[in-house]
Amino acid sequence: MPREGDPTLSLMQRLLGKGSLAFTVEPTPGAERYQGITALDGPTIVESVHAYFRQSDQLDAAIRVDVGRVAKVGAKDGSEWRAGGVLIQRMPGKHAGKSLGERDDEEWRRALALVGSTGRLDLLDPKLGARDMLRRLFPEDDVRAYRPVQVEARCRCSRERVDMVLRSFPAGEIADMVVDGEITVTSEFCNAHYRFAQADLNL
Ligand SMILES: [Zn+2]
């Protein structure tokens, strides 16, 4: 629930209220998905993402995002809202099992400094594509770009899946979930609610 009245909360907390930040990474269609959830309790989305990477035993990572209005010909008021961001992640060293050397640490700190130096206009520039951004960020490095993947908001939950999961629980646990003859399941990813009558689950 939005809590816009409380002055002790950050703008993000006032706008979004209590919630969770969910990540789904699907490397290729059909491959095993990776999912993670963390509380949305930092002062900004960026802080919440950083907290997630710190908590979840991930490789070092850093993210920068920006949002703002940029000029656009033909748009109402002559401008439009845009958002842009960049996330970098430290890859494992070449020698599996061995600790990363000093030179790797230095390279990582250099990458952090370069990403930190990105100006606001770079992230919001409608004409600056991902490839150009990479070249501009790392002008002295041998940058390779992979085919871009479109990002979309989607959840694969369905009534059938939830039904299947519920049936895998022992009857005693199912009985504990019943409230007023019903079980309500909420998808933590998309916030969809599924209600099942106790009788439908043949308990
Ligand atoms: Zn869902």
78 and 5 in a single domain? The answer is no
C-alpha of residue 194 to centroid of ligand 1, in Å: 10
Whether residue 166 contacts residue 196, with contact meaning beta carbons closer than 8 Å, is answered with yes
Q: Please check the confidence at residue 185 and state whether its pLDDT lies above 90.
A: yes
26 and 51 in a single domain? The answer is yes
67 and 141 in a single domain? The answer is yes
Rg, the chain, Cα only? 22
CA 27 to chain centre: 15
38 and 92 in a single domain? The answer is no
- Model confidence pLDDT, tens digit, residues 10-59: 888 888 888 888 877 777 777 777 777 888 877 888 888 888 877 776 67
* Sequence letter at residue 147: R
Q: Distance (Å, rounded) from C-alpha 2 to C-alpha 18?
A: 8
Q: Please check the confidence at residue 7 and state whether its pLDDT lies above 80.
A: no
**pTM greater than 0.85 (yes/no):** no
63 and 124 in a single domain? The answer is yes
68 and 120 in a single domain? The answer is yes
* Domain ranges, residue 168: 159-201
Average pLDDT over residues 168-172: 87
Q: Please check the confidence at residue 1 and state whether its pLDDT lies above 60.
A: no
Report the domain count for the chain: 3
148 and 164 in a single domain? The answer is no
* CB under 5 Å of ion ligand 1: residues: 155, 157, 187, 189-190, 192
Q: Please check the confidence at residue 184 and state whether its pLDDT lies above 90.
A: yes
71 and 149 in a single domain? The answer is yes
C-alpha of residue 54 to centroid of ligand 1, in Å: 25
- Model confidence pLDDT, tens digit, residues 99-158: 556 778 888 899 988 888 866 657 888 888 888 888 888 888 888 888 877 777 778 899
C-alpha of residue 83 to centroid of ligand 1, in Å: 25
C-alpha of residue 22 to centroid of ligand 1, in Å: 11
Q: Residue 156: beta bridge partners?
A: none
Q: Which long-range contacts (CB under 8 A, 24 or more apart) does 15-23 make?
A: 16/40, 20/188, 21/45, 21/48, 21/49, 21/52, 22/188, 22/189, 23/52
C-alpha of residue 189 to centroid of ligand 1, in Å: 5
163 and 185 in a single domain? The answer is yes
Q: For the chain, how many helices (H) and strands (E)?
A: 7, 6
Whether residue 125 contacts residue 137, with contact meaning beta carbons closer than 8 Å, is answered with no
45 and 121 in a single domain? The answer is no
103 and 127 in a single domain? The answer is yes
C-alpha of residue 191 to centroid of ligand 1, in Å: 6
Q: Distance (Å, rounded) from C-alpha 100 to C-alpha 98?
A: 6
